[in-house]
């Protein structure tokens, strides 16, 4: 599907209560434009459950199931298995989870579902912190970033840990489909969601999701920031399918310092921390690139 | 292979529960091992492999996921089953607590086992009792036959449009789950007639009719939903009785519905029991009756909803009541005792609470005799200083 063919109509309806400039809202609209109405959605507690799922005004014009924080993957597993038992094999079961519910609390259920190759599509909108509860660092927050639980007062240096690599964990499960995406590369985004829609088995797509209040950036800066994240190697675009990894966009490794300097959450970053970050992202690229290099071995 | 017709066999409660589940034909089963429930999901795996049952059998990675899978599957409009015990139930508590409000008629068997600490794998009700406020019906069974029968009745009760709440059928670990006795297995056809296929009329996930389940509900709408859950619980009291009577008429086993009364009508001292201990107590009641003592027992079958009216009606004429609890709410008393005393509000008879069998300690004949002896010593309410009596406990009772 080409961008121009994307239907205007989305089963994720207008009028949600997301913050100005929220990219998660944008991701939901566009994913649902691709998936269409033969879809059942589940969202765990996260920003999206709050801005689009409070009774009586919800934004899902498809069946919607809200469960708990740690069990998105097992919840959509239950829906998927029940549909299978009913012989309904043309319905896509999709879960939208934040990075806290995916990388931290939900990791056990996610691992179980990937291991069993459940017929589910899991979209992680990664805004790199527990933004819904007011910006606390999560297992996928970047090193050196400010959050309300990694303060930079009195000698504090922000988040002391590097983010977990969930796509790589799921590749280690030999999952049916694992991909990363960015709204700046929208055709790549469409291709991946469409491919995932049509595959059967465990499918995971992680999308970088700019959170203006959490990242301390202007509300209109999201699209530009995502593009810079890809160019700088901060966010890699790749997909893994049937044991094959493909890098969809070679990073230029340019502009990491500028990308970080535009975000208030990195205001306290020291030069030493910056050097560590640069090394981390270069190494991550090497690791992912090695998968591609070794595809046919 | 399980015979299609009615038959008798020797089996544990776990096998009886597994065969009852086969007869009930759930479309999705979540399986995770935890002692002493494990053999239920083992049996079910084999029955599915043999072709006795066609069901999605999901070998989840935790009890939290087990309850998530059955909740979401039930919410998608199919009958479900899972089983757990002890730490497993505690681990799934978060999800257990979501099911009532979503009006999901899930059936789960709980093989009652102590919750640490101290740790242990032996029977106690400290796993299911904390779930009494989770908007699940709770049915406690005495023996393996009742375990089989109540799984079938539970589906019928839960799926009734007046109820639409989940049910945990609870049975003492080991005493039932690993002890073999004769069980009559009802035939497939007659069970189908009693329990037709699940046909949800209320909300379920369907792309042709989009609805939302489990939403965040703000204060201005919240209380009405909770009130409806409470009303459904109260309605369940009559549905349980109806299903009991229907089952009794069809299959000839009448459990009395909400409570079972045994030699109570002319009794002066009555022991209220729950679970497998009822069998021991019934024997002692007979022995004491032979000696001319006016004793009786009431077996609590349904703990949620609690049959307040039936308890008061059954016991208002007696002189004193003892309540057996295989669990305790520390700093207060046993949960059954608290409910019974609440039911007897307005009367001035002494009511004692016998805590026994914790962590799987045997509740022996002489422990039941001890309870009746204590009741004899306590004739008026003023004599009750502390109603909580630990039975057969070193340094406390001899």
- Enter the ipTM: 0.96
Average pLDDT for A255-263? 98
- Whether A53 contacts chain B with CB within 8 A: yes
Q: Are B353 and B323 in contact (CB under 8 A)?
A: yes
Residues 6+ apart with CB under 8 A from B340: B272, B311, B315, B321, B323, B351
- Whether A229 contacts chain B with CB within 8 A: no
- Give the whole-angstrom CA distance, residue B5 versus residue B235: 34
- Whether A183 contacts chain B with CB within 8 A: no
pLDDT digits 0-9 by tens, A139-185 = 999 999 999 999 998 888 899 999 999 999 999 999 999 999 999 99
pTM, full prediction: 0.97
Query: A63 and B94: CB-CB below 8 Å?
Result: no
Q: Which residues of chain B are in CATH 3.40.50.920 domains?
A: 259-390
Q: Are B299 and B273 in contact (CB under 8 A)?
A: yes
Query: A65 and B75: CB-CB below 8 Å?
Result: yes
Closest CA to B164 of B82, B107, B243: B107
Kindly give the pairing relationship between strand A237-241 and strand A177-181.
antiparallel
- Give the whole-angstrom CA distance, residue A122 versus residue A112: 13
| Backbone φ and ψ of A207, nearest 5° | -115, 130
Query: B64 and A74: CB-CB below 8 Å?
Result: yes
For the cut 80, the answer to whether the pLDDT of residue A296 exceeds it is no
| Backbone φ and ψ of B39, nearest 5° | -65, -20
**Owner of token pair 């909770």:** B226
Instruction: Please state which CATH number belongs to domain A3-293.
Output: 3.40.50.970
Angle A10-A55-A51 from CA coordinates, rounded to 5°:
55
Closest CA to A259 of A184, A193, A157, A198: A184
The predicted pLDDT at position B202 comes to 86
Residue A92 β-bridge partners: A39
- Let me know if domain B7-251 sits in CATH 3.40.50.800: no
Query: B61 and A115: CB-CB below 8 Å?
Result: yes
The predicted pLDDT at position B203 comes to 80
The predicted pLDDT at position B284 comes to 98
For the cut 80, the answer to whether the pLDDT of residue A297 exceeds it is no
Give every residue of chain B whose pLDDT is below 70, as ranges.
Answer: 398
A vs B: CB pairs below 8 A? 151
The predicted pLDDT at position B384 comes to 84
The predicted pLDDT at position A155 comes to 81
Listed by start position, the domains of chain A span: 3-293
- Whether A36 contacts chain B with CB within 8 A: no
Residue B263 β-bridge partners: none
Average pLDDT for A10-34? 97
CATH class of B259-390: alpha beta
Residues 6+ apart with CB under 8 A from B127: B85, B86, B87, B89, B90, B110, B112, B113, B114, B115
CA distances from A225 to A18, A266, B51 (A): 19, 14, 56
For the cut 90, the answer to whether the pLDDT of residue A129 exceeds it is yes
- Give the whole-angstrom CA distance, residue B196 versus residue A162: 55
The predicted pLDDT at position B398 comes to 55
Query: A108 and B214: CB-CB below 8 Å?
Result: no
**Owner of token pair 């600490």:** B117
Query: A86 and B76: CB-CB below 8 Å?
Result: yes
Closest CB to B62: pick one of A37, A84, A108. A108
Q: Which residues of chain B are in CATH 3.40.50.970 domains?
A: 7-251
Q: What are the chain B neighbours of A112 within 8 Å (beta carbons)?
A: 60-62, 65
């Amino acid at each position: 599907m080409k961008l121009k063919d994307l239907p205007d109509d989305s089963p994720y309806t207008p009028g949600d209560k997301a913050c100005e400039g929220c990219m998660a809202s944008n991701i939901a609209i566009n994913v649902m434009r691709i998936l269409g109405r033969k879809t059942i959605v589940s969202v765990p507690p996260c920003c999206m459950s709050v801005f689009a799922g409070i009774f009586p005004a919800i934004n899902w014009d498809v069946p919607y199931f809200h469960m708990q924080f740690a069990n998105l993957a097992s919840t959509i597993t239950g829906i998927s298995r029940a549909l299978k038992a009913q012989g309904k094999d043309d319905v896509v079961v999709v879960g939208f989870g934040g990075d806290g519910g995916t990388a931290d609390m939900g990791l056990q259920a996610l691992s179980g579902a990937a291991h069993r190759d459940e017929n589910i599509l899991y979209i992680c909108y990664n805004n790199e912190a527990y933004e819904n509860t007011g910006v606390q660092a999560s297992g996928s927050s970047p090193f050196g970033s400010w959050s309300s639980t990694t303060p930079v007062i009195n000698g504090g240096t922000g988040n002391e840990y590097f983010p977990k690599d969930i796509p790589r964990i799921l590749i280690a499960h030999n999952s049916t489909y694992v991909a990363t995406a960015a709204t700046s590369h929208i055709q790549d985004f469409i291709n991946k969601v469409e491919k995932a829609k049509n595959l059967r088995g465990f499918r995971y797509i992680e999308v970088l999701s700019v959170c203006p209040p959490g990242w301390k950036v202007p509300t209109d800066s999201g699209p530009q920031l995502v593009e810079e994240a890809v160019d700088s190697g901060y966010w890699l675009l790749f997909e893994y399918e049937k044991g094959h990894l493909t890098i969809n966009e070679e990073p230029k490794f340019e502009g990491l310092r500028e990308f970080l300097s535009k975000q208030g959450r990195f205001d306290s970053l020291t030069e030493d921390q910056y050097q560590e970050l640069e090394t981390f992202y270069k190494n991550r690229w090497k690791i992912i690139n090695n998968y591609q290099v070794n595809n046919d071995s | 292979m399980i015979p299609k017709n009615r038959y008798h066999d020797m089996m544990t409660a776990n096998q009886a529960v597994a065969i009852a589940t086969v007869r009930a034909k759930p479309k999705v089963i979540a399986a995770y091992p935890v002692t002493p429930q494990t053999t239920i999901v083992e049996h079910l795996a084999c029955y599915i492999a043999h072709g006795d049952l066609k069901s999605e059998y999901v070998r989840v990675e935790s009890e939290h996921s087990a309850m998530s899978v059955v909740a979401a599957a039930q919410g998608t409009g199919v009958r479900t089953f899972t089983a757990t015990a002890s730490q497993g139930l505690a681990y799934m508590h978060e999800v257990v607590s979501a099911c009532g409000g979503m009006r999901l008629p899930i059936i789960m068997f709980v093989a009652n086992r102590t919750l640490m600490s101290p740790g242990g794998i032996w029977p106690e009700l400290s796993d299911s009792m904390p779930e009494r406020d989770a908007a699940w019906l709770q049915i406690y069974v005495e023996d393996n036959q009742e375990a089989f029968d109540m799984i079938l009745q539970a589906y019928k009760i839960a799926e009734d449009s007046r109820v639409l709440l989940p049910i945990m059928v609870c049975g003492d670990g080991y005493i039932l789950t690993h002890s073999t006795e004769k069980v009559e297995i009802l035939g497939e056809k007659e069970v189908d007639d009693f329990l037709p296929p699940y046909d949800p009329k209320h909300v379920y996930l369907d792309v042709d009719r989009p609805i939302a389940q489990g939403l965040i509900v703000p204060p201005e709408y919240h209380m009405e939903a909770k009130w409806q859950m409470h009303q459904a619980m109260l309605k369940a009291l009559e549905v349980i009785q109806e299903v009991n009577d229907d089952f009794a008429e069809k299959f000839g086993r009448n459990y009395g519905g909400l409570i079972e009364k045994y030699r109570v009508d002319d009794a002066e001292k009555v022991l209220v029991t729950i679970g497998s201990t009822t069998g021991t107590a019934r024997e002692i009641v007979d022995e004491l009756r032979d000696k001319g003592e006016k004793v009786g027992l009431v077996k609590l079958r349904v703990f949620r909803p609690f049959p307040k009216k039936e308890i008061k009606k059954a016991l208002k004429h007696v002189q004193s009541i003892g309540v057996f609890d295989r669990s305790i709410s520390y700093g207060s008393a046993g949960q059954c005792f608290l409910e019974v005393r609440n039911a007897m509000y307005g009367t001035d008879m002494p009511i004692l609470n016998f805590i026994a069998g914790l962590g799987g300690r045997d509740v022996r004949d002489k422990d039941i005799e001890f309870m009746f002896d204590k009741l004899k010593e306590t004739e008026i309410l003023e004599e009750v200083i502390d109603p909580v009596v630990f039975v057969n406990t070193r340094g406390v009772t001899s």
